[in-house]
Amino acid sequence: MGNTETYDVIVIGAGPAGAEAAMAAGRAGANTLCLSINLDNVGFPPATPLLVADDQDVRGPMLVELATLGGILPQLLKQEGVPAPSGAAAGHSGRVLIDRRNLGLAYKEALESAENVHLRQALVLTVEAVETPGLQKKADSARWQVKTKLGECFNAGALVVAAGTFLGGKVDDAGVIAPGGRAGEIPANALARTLDGLGCRLTRIFSETPPRIESAPADAAAAGKTDIADTTAAAAVNMATDNDAVKAASDYELLDDGRQLGELMVSGFWSQGNRMEQQQALRETGRWDRAWMTRSSWSVTHLALAAAQVDQSLEALFLEGIFFAGRVAGTCNYVEAAVTGLVAGAGAAARATGRPRPDLIIKSKYVDKICTAVAEQESRPVTIRIAGPGC
Amino acid sequence: MVKKKTSGAVTAFDVIVVGGGHAGCESALAAARMGCRTLMITLDLEKVALMPCNPAVGGVGKGQLTREIDALGGEQGRNTDRSYIQMKMLNTGKGPAVRALRAQTDKKLYEDNMKRAIAAEPDLMVLAGAVAALDVSRETIKGIRLTDGSHIAAGSVVLACGTFLQGMIVVGELRFPAGRMGEPPATDLSHSLREQGLELGRFQSATPPRIDSRSINTAEMTEDPGDPDPAFFSLRSQPDNRQQIPCFLTYTTAETHEVVRKYLHLSPIKTGSVSGKGPRYCPSIDRKVMNFPDRDRHPVFVEPEGRHTRELYLQGLTTSLPVWVQEKVIQATPGLRQARLMRPGYAVEYDYVIPSQLGLSLETKAVKGLFLAGQINGTSGYEEAAAQGLMAGINAALRIRGEKPLILRRDEAYIGVLIDDLVTKGVDEPYRMFTSRAEFRLILRHDNAYERLAPVGHRLRLVPDSFYQNIEQIRQKVETRLTGLAKTTVQPGELVNQMLKRAGSSSLTEPQSALQLLKRPELSINDISQLLKGSKAEAEESKGTAAKAEGQEADRFAANAGEDWRRPQQSFINQRVEIEAKYEGYIARQMQEVSRRRHLEETAIPPAFEYAGLAGITIEAREKLTRIRPASLGQASRIAGVSPADISVLAIYLKGR
């Protein structure tokens, strides 16, 4: 059979959590392998383009802290020209909107270019202990072996599990419930079984994504002035100036979602039923009576670690060298995913290489809060509502 | 709570296109541009226009298809020009019939640009969803049903589902359902197609591994740069100063082949875990080593997948061996000894519809209004897919308008050859375009595609007026220039003969037309221009006027260089003139051949023709003719198993009717 490659750290998943973990581990000098089910989707934020809601949103200061810790997300936002809150910048609304696709591509480029990081497409099936964990304390020893769907084998001293909504994911896409990580993507079911087998207590959590509509439906354009045409035009103007969203109504909000296909996310709208029923329901709100829904609302339930199983460095209490980050750790948004990713990645690197972990992390207020919440809070997903909505 | 939708407001479109790949995008854009309210449904809107295999468009045979797509008003050519990272004209040392453009593309940019083109089309809607079944009543398409139960009505439906129909990935001995790696397949639609009486087959395709550009040693490979002054697929594209990215060429060695041979027993082609037939012309390294044991090396082109990615595509190392063997095979190849795998190669097996069940319009014979395009018809390649997509989209739209379908003949377009081959001969392996498939390839060239097809595209309103006028201007320029050259006499003279000698050509002893001189293989259009200037100088001494007129013509050309369409098109015009002049005799002969066969192509066979009552043809011919139902005597003559004697009988019978 083939050689088993040995790394210091293996990161399972390359979303906002996995990418941050791999970058942090690489920065710490750990030889890091980052695995993703599909390299075309690396770093792709699946749900909302809204990263931070407003200046009352805890994710704002969290992003600022992430920047001081050298996190990749704030750097990519800067690179993409997304106005992000900085600690001192008063007057900034605090809102951070992203182009999901461009951010994903930027993540991929960053991971591919990072020193000590190897990005590779693979679906992880199993995680097994190479030596009995807890007994072997030698820092650089390969504690864990990862096996993939295509039969590849990798060993590592530490793992970061950052499989996002893919862990045992079930997608409800307009009433059709099927295994899936996101709409149109396969889940990581075997990994869920293997974690269960290792004694992890997993709990199912839920996440939903509002529908998208076409920003300029033909019939709206033909009919001249309609609500949608107005808001879109306004959105276009606003995008150009402030990269900001437009308040279409008090209870719903249209968020620009990707400049390529020109879609808008109808934030705050949720309905059940099949696509055409959802579309009808949207039209019946009276605001967008000609809207064309390009993507229905969909939801996913997936498995995440239940409370009291990791310490504040996000390492499993009973599985030395296995760290959890992002949604599988019980968090619920990209910024929290990134922050926990960074903590887990740095921790995994330290565990694998035997070098001390940077204590800066522990001293960061919001980083500490979210990690504490992951470790101690009973409810899943965890919420920290210090200064506004957590989710 | 949502109210259950009752009767009344049924969502309806003129045309529904299922699939957002290269066939689907082209179909949807064409139908929408022809004024049909069009819906493109795809499993994942993030994957629109994805290039799942090689990051390239064009090449010999395929490049002609892409140029023809552009001439008809399609998108692939322009989109490639917007997204290229390297352009190369192939076979410049060979005859004009086999010259073709090939581009390396930035995969992500290609997707983005295609999405923008789709978003810009007001009559085109997109929808993320999976189609479960076709809605057919009285052998006519009525719409589709999604897996969520939604019904969407349509007058025409184009299916362009690529490798997703019952897709199954195969790597080594592993098999699992997937449309592409990481993406679930379309499981319900095959059943629905069978229910409509369509017969499906099983094909296989494969993609090579991708490696990290940081891990290769370019010193051990040959750099393969783009053309310094790149041509474009579309005459609408303007040259830009973008930096081109080189590819690298390396070769497998005996060592590479040894590794393959050692583990060949693990290859799906040996274990039998692949049931579908694979592409003969894009064989895996497993198959190459097996079929060509005497070859000591095979080329491997190392191609970048984009400007912002480090993924490299290994063209020539397609394999579905187990991943650990893939790594050994790669690393046994010079330049790739330290190569780090990023994506393993794999094979994918999928259902296709046996294409002899289609008419030349790509409409199924079983279900009116149902059109099929791309890999679902048993082809391979983005260009073949896009060409069919465009034609299916056009014909789906023409059906809505109640007009006759657009059918391109074999002497009109590679697209005509492609569709006629599929429909008439069927496929026994994934079909790929080659120049050798076109018997009239000397008149189906890259350079004359606009003259052949732009009038058609313009009539369909796919080619905008401004561009069409531009093409007409070019056509007239070429004609004027050719006439001018024919009328211009070059007198033998000292200066002229000196110039001829310098160009390696024999000297003139008596006056000759410039056109005759241009026919000399060693003389280019630029040589002739120089010669005419020399001739003009000499002629002015002897007060010649014809040469002066030509000289003015040449001056006018130069003066017009500032007009926006001229700069990229000036060299195009020169190339057109040169080819028309040099190959005039061959082209004329081929045109004669075309007209000799024209009567066969134009003798229509009624769609409901009863072959059962036709005495004097073989049983095999009767069977085949009944099944394929050729539209013309010409098409009938190309069916395998139908002999010239059968055709004679049929011809006499049709004449007698």
Cβ contact B309–A108 (<8 Å): yes
Residue B558 pLDDT > 50, yes or no?
Answer: no
Give residue-wise pLDDT tens across range B328-363: 999 999 999 999 999 999 999 999 999 999 999 999
Cβ contact A261–B126 (<8 Å): yes
The percentage of chain B sitting over the pLDDT mark of 70, rounded to a whole number, equals 94
Mean pLDDT of B81-90: 96
The percentage of chain B sitting over the pLDDT mark of 90, rounded to a whole number, equals 71
Cβ contact B43–A184 (<8 Å): yes
Give residue-wise pLDDT tens across range A9-50: 999 999 999 999 999 999 999 999 999 999 999 999 988 999
Q: CB–CB of B341/B209 below 8 Å?
A: yes
Task: Identify all chain A residues contacting B117, using CB atoms and an 8 Å cutoff.
Answer: none
DSSP assignment, residue A246? B
Give residue-wise pLDDT tens across range A349-379: 999 999 887 776 667 888 889 999 999 988 8
Determine the residue among B13, B14, B46 to mutate to test chain A binding: the one whose Cβ has the most chain A Cβ atoms within 10 Å.
B46
Count of Cβ atoms closer than 10 Å to residue B428 Cβ: 11
Cβ contact A278–B2 (<8 Å): yes
**Nearest-neighbour CA in chain B from A206: distance (Å):** 20
Closest Cβ opposite residue B50 in set A40, A113, A152: A40
Task: Identify all chain A residues contacting B122, using CB atoms and an 8 Å cutoff.
Answer: 216, 218, 221-222
In sequence order, which residues have a C-beta less than 8 Å from that of residue B289 and are 6 or more positions away?
A: B257, B260, B261, B264
Q: Which residues pair with B105 in a beta bridge?
A: B84
Determine the residue among B10, B150, B151, B329 to mutate to test chain A binding: the one whose Cβ has the most chain A Cβ atoms within 10 Å.
B150
Residue B188 pLDDT > 80, yes or no?
Answer: yes
Give the lowest-confidence range in A41-55, B319-333, B454-468. A41-55
Give the lowest-confidence range in A333-337, B238-242, B353-357, B627-631. B238-242
* Distance in angstroms (rounded) separating the CA atoms of residues B134 and B145: 6
A354: left (phi over 0), alpha (psi -120 to 50) or beta: left
Torsion of CA A175, A178, A180, A185, to 10 degrees: -80
pLDDT at A287: 81
Mean pLDDT of B270-280: 74
A244 pLDDT band (50/70/90 cuts)? very low
Task: Identify all chain A residues contacting B53, using CB atoms and an 8 Å cutoff.
Answer: none
**Nearest-neighbour CA in chain B from A198: distance (Å):** 25
Cβ contact A295–B340 (<8 Å): no
Give residue-wise pLDDT tens across range B47-79: 999 999 999 999 999 999 999 999 999 999 999
Q: What share of chain B is helix, strand, coil (3-state, %, to 5)?
A: 45, 20, 35
Q: CB–CB of B250/B336 below 8 Å?
A: yes
* Distance in angstroms (rounded) separating the CA atoms of residues B600 and A309: 79
pLDDT at A362: 65
Residues 23-52 of A with CB under 8 A from B: 37-41, 44
Residue A221 pLDDT > 70, yes or no?
Answer: no
End-to-end Cα spacing for chain A: 47
pLDDT at A90: 54
A8 pLDDT band (50/70/90 cuts)? very high
Give the lowest-confidence range in A104-118, A152-166, B515-529. B515-529
Closest Cβ opposite residue B182 in set A185, A217, A218: A185
Cβ contact B182–A281 (<8 Å): no
Task: Identify all chain B residues contacting A39, using CB atoms and an 8 Å cutoff.
Answer: 210, 311, 342-343
Mean pLDDT of B284-300: 91
Residue B289 pLDDT > 60, yes or no?
Answer: yes
Closest-CA residue of chain A to B37: A218
Per-residue b or e along B247-261, where b marks 16 or more CB atoms closer than 10 Å to that residue's CB:
bbbbbbeeebbebbe
Give chain B's mean pLDDT: 90
Of B304 and B94, more confident: B304
Residue A87 pLDDT > 80, yes or no?
Answer: no
A218 pLDDT band (50/70/90 cuts)? very low
Residue B547 pLDDT > 80, yes or no?
Answer: no
| CA A321 to centroid of chain Cα atoms | 22
Q: Which residues pair with B145 in a beta bridge?
A: B133, B151
Q: Which residues pair with A253 in a beta bridge?
A: A267
Taking CB atoms and an 8 Å cut-off, how many pairs form between chains A and B? Answer: 167
B570 pLDDT band (50/70/90 cuts)? confident
Residue B545 pLDDT > 60, yes or no?
Answer: no
Q: Largest Cα–Cα distance of chain B, in whole Å?
A: 95
The ipTM (two decimal places) reads: 0.89
A250 pLDDT band (50/70/90 cuts)? low
**Nearest-neighbour CA in chain A from B322: distance (Å):** 7
Mean pLDDT of B615-622: 90
Q: Which of B33, B28, B49 is nearest to B162 (CA)?
A: B49
Q: Which of B41, B88, B83 is nearest to B60 (CA)?
A: B88
In sequence order, which residues have a C-beta less than 8 Å from that of residue B64 and are 6 or more positions away?
A: B100, B414, B433, B435, B444, B445, B446, B449
Mean pLDDT of B284-288: 89
pLDDT at B552: 54
pLDDT at B380: 94
**Nearest-neighbour CA in chain B from A146: distance (Å):** 15
Task: Identify all chain A residues contacting B3, using CB atoms and an 8 Å cutoff.
Answer: 280-281, 284
CB contact A5 to B (< 8 Å): no
Mean pLDDT of B242-250: 96
pLDDT at B537: 74
A233 pLDDT band (50/70/90 cuts)? very low
pLDDT at B568: 61
CB contact A236 to B (< 8 Å): no
Q: CB–CB of A388/A53 below 8 Å?
A: yes
CB contact A386 to B (< 8 Å): no
Phi and psi torsions of A144, nearest 5°: -125, 140
Mean pLDDT of B466-480: 93
Residue B615 pLDDT > 90, yes or no?
Answer: no
Cβ contact A275–B37 (<8 Å): no
Task: Identify all chain B residues contacting A122, using CB atoms and an 8 Å cutoff.
Answer: 344
